[in-house]
Copies of this chain bind each other. A is one copy, B any other.
Amino acid sequence: MKYTVLGTGLMGAAVAVALVDGGHNVNVWNRTASKAERLSTRGVKVSHDVASAVRDSDAVVLLLLDQDAALDAVGDALPELHGRAVINLMTGTPEQADALAALMAGTGACYLDGAIECYPRDIGRGDALINFSGDEAVWALHADAMRHLAGRSAFVSSDPGAANLLDAALAGTFHNVALGAFVEAVAFLSSRGVDPSAPEVALDYWFDLLKAEARHAVDIVAGGDFTTTEATLSVHLAAVRQWRETALLSGQRASLITAHMHNLEIAEASGSGGLAFASQVATASVRRE
């Protein structure tokens, strides 16, 4: 397969090299061509204009800085995209993916959107993940190459914005926040003289428990029955208030647990105190139906 990668930053360079490793012909273009030149020693062909780079490919992979940079780069070469696949691996919003999909449909290109859920150093690994959405025929044709970039790559939906939506929810609203909560916990312990590298701090236990409880929450939300014989939302809230008080008395700002307490208070005020912890999904939205 012949790929053209537009953009050779950390992620673009990692993707180009991994595609060469996978046995493909790879062309790259970068606005600052000198930054792409070092890739020529890795079996990558460096092009100096977008149109000729695109002409020499089956699929064009977008890894520019952002949506504006991508539109700017492909602007003059849009007619060349006709009949080709465009695989957008840039981080963006669902709305940006929808807009780019519409633009590509207008030029006669097929559009696949991917949200890369790993770091550049992880590209090429079997346990790395990229979620794809959009044109399923493009996915079918390029799945092997994409799984070579990230072994756990998966097609999630024909809605082009779906991969970016999952990214905003899982990489952002969950993962990055949870990592921030862990760092808050480490700061709290450090403030009380606990060595953060002590074995009891980053214990597997807490992550395994979180995985189990998250699956339990999904089952409850999917089932729609929020009654519980276990700790109720109000019991969780009482514990959260005590934990937060301990953090505040230790001099911590305790920002995340304060926001969490507020979520639980809003849920309790709506009448969910006697229901399961996950019943707070009903009060997470501020939109009037």
* A interface residues with partner B (beta carbon < 8 Å): 91-95, 117-119, 121, 127, 129, 131, 152, 154, 156, 162, 164-192, 194-198, 200-211, 213-215, 217-219, 221-222, 230-231, 236, 239-240, 242-247, 249, 251-260, 262-264, 266, 277-278, 280-281, 284-287
- Residue of B whose beta carbon sits closest to that of A152: B205
State whether A280 touches B180 (Cβ < 8 A): yes
- Residue of B whose beta carbon sits closest to that of A246: B168
State whether B285 touches A253 (Cβ < 8 A): yes
State whether B284 touches A188 (Cβ < 8 A): yes
Q: How distant is the Cα of A175 from the Cα of B205 in the complex, in angstroms?
A: 10
Q: Which of B195, B239, B251 makes the CB contact (< 8 A) with A287?
A: B251
B residues less than 8 Å from A129 (CB atoms): 203, 205
B residues less than 8 Å from A185 (CB atoms): 169-170, 173-174
B residues less than 8 Å from A186 (CB atoms): 169, 217-218, 221, 278, 281
Q: Which of B172, B207, B219, B277 makes the CB contact (< 8 A) with A211?
A: B207
Q: How distant is the Cα of A112 from the Cα of B52 in the complex, in angstroms?
A: 74
Q: Which of B200, B204, B287 makes the CB contact (< 8 A) with A156?
A: B200
B residues less than 8 Å from A118 (CB atoms): 209
- Residue of B whose beta carbon sits closest to that of A278: B183
Given contacts A169-B185, A286-B253, contact A281 B218 (CB under 8 A): no
Given contacts A195-B222, A286-B253, contact A173 B184 (CB under 8 A): yes
Q: How distant is the Cα of A73 from the Cα of B175 in the complex, in angstroms?
A: 44
State whether B281 touches A183 (Cβ < 8 A): yes
Q: Which of B121, B166, B175, B259 makes the CB contact (< 8 A) with A259?
A: B259
Given contacts A165-B192, A214-B202, contact A280 B183 (CB under 8 A): yes
Q: Which of B117, B164, B260 makes the CB contact (< 8 A) with A177?
A: B260
